[in-house]
Amino acid sequence: MVIDERIRLLIPRILAFAVISAAIGAGYGYETSFATAAGLRGLVRGALTGALIGAAVSSLVAFVLEAPGARLARASFMVTVAVRSLVYLVIFLAAIAVGQLIVPNHPLDRAVNISRDDILFCFGATIVVSFLFEVNSLLGPNVLLSFVTGRYHRPQVEQRVFLIMDMKNSTAAAERLGEVDFHRLVNRLVSDLTGPIVLREGEIHKYVGDELIATWPLATGLKNAACVRACFMALARLVEHGAEYEREFGAAAQVRASLHCGPVVVGEMGSVKKEIAMLGDTLNTAARLVDACRDSGESVVASVSLLDQLELPPNVIARPLGLIRLRGKEQAIDLCALDQATSDRKPVPHA
């Protein structure tokens, strides 16, 4: 993945996080200094400190801690929480020090005074923040928030886009590598695929064996063809790291992918183990499109019903495959194969 693309997509999120943190910091700074003559200075210093913390933490998470292929992303839960907490603690204390130096209580007072209470508060805050980040990673983006707010306590119908990516030649790889090394391969594969999808605002619904299911709310997935761009960014990442796969696992990793959209029922499911489940014919059809990929020898297949609602990126072309009857479906579905455009192969309309 090109670093410039990551920066362009992530900068707005980092700025938003910094603004929110600045507002929180301003409120905290004003409240703690309200009883003194430095009330306004406290507000400004709090805003500055909050902005520094927000920008530093969000940048660190985006480009280091949760960047595609980051080692920490593959570490155990407790190790990740401990490392995050330590790093965040340093950021918090450094931001407090910088805030005090730039906006002191008195113009002539340039001393940094970080009290024991400040350290204890920051330490507790970093533990909580790190823990919540990790729980959110375990459940998936936005799932924790959905549980807390009860958004899907009562099932509701949503229009969604689905991207399903399935590993090619997985049976042969499992036989060749053995169970443990095959698990490492699949874990590395889904980690590499996840980065580009999340970068394009996709949600990882679940991993099923060597298969990844990603989803977008319909408007989000269609905007700037985010679902298609995410798919090809993920494929490009596998090509980019092909030599590493060959060195570590004896062969480059390849996947087939399907894209489809339509209504699904979304709701909480389970008692002892809960999850946000998505059910409906749309998801079943998206899964069957993976079989169409396999049968037709194509790498990426998309339904015309999805392609009719978006404008393909300039570097992607669509080739009509016609009406294809999928396994378990009574009615045939109109499909297209998607390919990366080359200099001598210009994009053409899909219909």
How far is residue 87's CA from residue 89's CA, in Å, rounded to a whole number? 5
Whole-number pLDDT of residue 144: 67
- Give me 150's structure tokens: 């009860």
Measured distance CA(21)–CA(285) in Å, rounded: 42
Element (H, E) at 161: strand 156-167
Tell me the mean pLDDT per 10 residues along the chain, length 351.
58 79 75 56 82 83 67 69 81 85 71 74 75 67 70 88 93 91 91 88 88 94 94 92 91 93 90 83 92 89 94 92 83 90 52 44
pLDDT of 83? 80
Contact 55, 183 (CB under 8 A): no
Give the pLDDT confidence score for residue 349 in this predicted structure: 45
Q: What is the dihedral of CA 298, 302, 303, 308, to 10 degrees?
A: -130
Evaluate whether the domain defined by 150-340 bears CATH number 3.40.50.920.
no
Letter string b/e over residues 237-271, b meaning 16 or more CB atoms within 10 A of that residue's CB: bbeebeeebeeebeeebbbbbbbbbbebebbbeee
C-alpha closest to that of 317 among 343, 292, 350: 350
Model's pTM, two decimal places? 0.73
Q: Kindly list the domain boundaries of the chain, sorted by start residue.
A: 3-139, 150-340
**CB count in 10 Å sphere of residue 209:** 10
State the pLDDT at residue 351. Answer: 44
- C-alpha 52/C-alpha 29 separation (Å) is 14
Residue 222: predicted pLDDT: 96
- Rounded to 5 degrees, φ, ψ at 165 are -120, 125
